[in-house]
Amino acid sequence: MRYRVSPNVAVRTTDAAGAVDFYSRVLGLPITAESGGETTIDASPLTLFVINDDQVAGPVHELLVDDLEAARDELVANGCEVVRWHGKGQDCYIRDPFGVVFNLWEEPDG
């Protein structure tokens, strides 16, 4: 399995408005989009997606994979746990043995 780090990071929090205010006003990062309860912030070279969430809190890093199901199976076999799984093109969260949460994202040509 090949894993590649994506420049996308979800900031999942119970205070999305406060997070957006902090990143835009305090840190001066530009808001590039707002849609469906998600705010996109340019933290070049990263893109932050601030999302209100009362179940998964903190940063969620993204790993790009060629085969979503195979990646999940390999990671679970190596001590990871599924946190949230909605399938291709949606949230597929895995927590590694050290507490870091990743969203697995299958590349369109994968």
User: Domain with 57 in it: what CATH number?
Assistant: 3.10.180.10
pLDDT at position 109, please?
Answer: 64
pLDDT at position 110, please?
Answer: 47
Interior angle at CA 69, CA 81 and CA 4, nearest 5: 80
Q: Is the pLDDT of residue 70 over 60?
A: yes
Q: What's the domain count of the chain?
A: 1
- The reported pTM is 0.88
> Residue 65 sits in which domain range?
3-106
pLDDT at position 90, please?
Answer: 94
Q: Is the pLDDT of residue 10 over 90?
A: yes
pLDDT digits (tens, 9 = 90+) for 90-99: 999 999 999 9
pLDDT at position 55, please?
Answer: 85
CA distances from 83 to 8, 22, 96 (A): 18, 27, 10
Whole-angstrom Cα distance, residue 45 to residue 86? 27
Whole-angstrom Cα distance, residue 33 to residue 49? 9
pLDDT at position 57, please?
Answer: 85
Q: Are 96 and 57 in contact (CB under 8 A)?
A: no
pLDDT digits (tens, 9 = 90+) for 14-69: 999 999 999 999 999 999 999 988 999 999 999 999 999 988 888 999 999 999 99
State how far Cα 48 lies from the chain centre.
9
Whole-angstrom Cα distance, residue 81 to residue 38? 25
Whole-angstrom Cα distance, residue 6 to residue 64? 6
Assess whether the previous peptide bond of 59 is cis (omega < 30° from 0): no
